Amino acid sequence: MSLLGEAAMVFWHDITDGDDDYKDWHSNEHMSERVGVPGFLRGRRARSLRGEPQYFIMYEVDSVEVLTSRAYLDRLNDPSPWTEQVLSRYRNSNRTLCRLDDSRGLGAGRFLVTCRMAPAEGCGNLLRHWLQNTFLEQCVSVSSIVGAHFLTADEVASHTPTEEKKLRSRPDEIANWVVIVEGYDEDAMQAVMTEELAVEHLERLGALPGSQINFYELEHIASATDVQNARPGRVNGPKR
């Protein structure tokens, strides 16, 4: 298994008015705060290599219950001033709380392909079977692909109201099914996008029209152990 735990929060978004401040906030305040919540195992941020949304964020957690726990909700309902300022600049947000249905591979890759899809009526079993019994295994049989994962949304958990949600310019979208592929060779990753995860191919296998496929490069990753072992001053934000 490549992803940690049994659930994850996945988040796609754009940002207005200054990437540098956003990255400083996410790396120096937000990630350590989130990964410091009990049950959070690892967080990462990746930036789009082409197209939108600009950023993909993922937090791996022990279980989906962690994502509705009192400890996590307390953080979501008490945003710092820096968080308030940054979240007000989020655009085109999709924040989905997911259960991890299947995960193959070892470790984390430099490049990530994400795919948001939904099964057409009556086609869910066929599409799921292809994903879990053919696609994921084919991916990790490629030497440069280090992980392939299938997650499904928990819509009830994803709709939990919070103060942080109110800061964003419009309600978050929620994905249905999510596929993530990780690797270190850009050409191999692009082949996954244009072949197996091509929109037309997914439709033939039973996906609704409009699957969203994006390509990202990892910028920062931190585990709960990293946060626990960080030297004082390294996770408290930039000096002002």
Q: Would the pLDDT of 62 be above 50?
A: yes
Please, which pLDDT band fits residue 18 given cuts at 50, 70 and 90? confident
Mean of pLDDT over the chain:
95
- Judged against a pLDDT cut of 80, whether residue 92 lies above it is answered with yes
pLDDT of residue 99: 98
Query: What percentage of the chain has pLDDT greater than the value 70?
Result: 96
The pLDDT of residue 17 = 87
Please report whether residue 240 resides in a domain.
Answer: no
Question: Is 39 exposed, middle or buried, given 0-12, 13-18 or 19+ CB atoms closer than 10 A?
Answer: middle
Q: How far apart are CA 51 and CA 76, in angstroms?
A: 29
User: Is the residue at 2 inside a domain?
Assistant: no
Q: Is 191 left (phi over 0), alpha (psi -120 to 50) or beta?
A: alpha
Overall number of domains in the chain = 1
| For the chain, the helix, strand and coil percentages under 3-state DSSP, each to the nearest 5 | 35, 35, 30
Domain that holds residue 169: 7-229
Residue 51 lies in a domain: yes
Q: Does residue 1 lie in a domain region?
A: no
What is the rounded CA–CA span in Å between residue 60 and residue 10? 9
234 falls within a domain: no
What's the average model confidence in pLDDT over 158-165?
Answer: 96
Identify whether 73 is part of a domain.
yes
Domain contains 66 = yes
Q: What is the pLDDT of residues 96-150, one digit of tens each?
A: 999 999 999 999 999 999 999 999 999 999 999 999 999 999 999 999 999 999 9
Which residues in 59-93 are b (16+ Cβ under 10 Å) and which e? Answer: bbbbebebbebeebbebbeebeebbeebbebbebb
Least confident range of 1-5, 9-13, 95-99, 166-170:
1-5
Task: Say what the pTM is.
Answer: 0.94
Task: Specify if 41 maps to a domain.
Answer: yes
Stretch 155-184: mean pLDDT = 96
**Kind and range of the H or E element at 100?**
strand 90-105
Q: How far from 130 is each of 68, 87, 202, CA to CA, in Å?
A: 31, 37, 10
- Which CATH number characterizes residue 121's domain? 3.30.70.100
End-to-end CA distance of the chain: 41
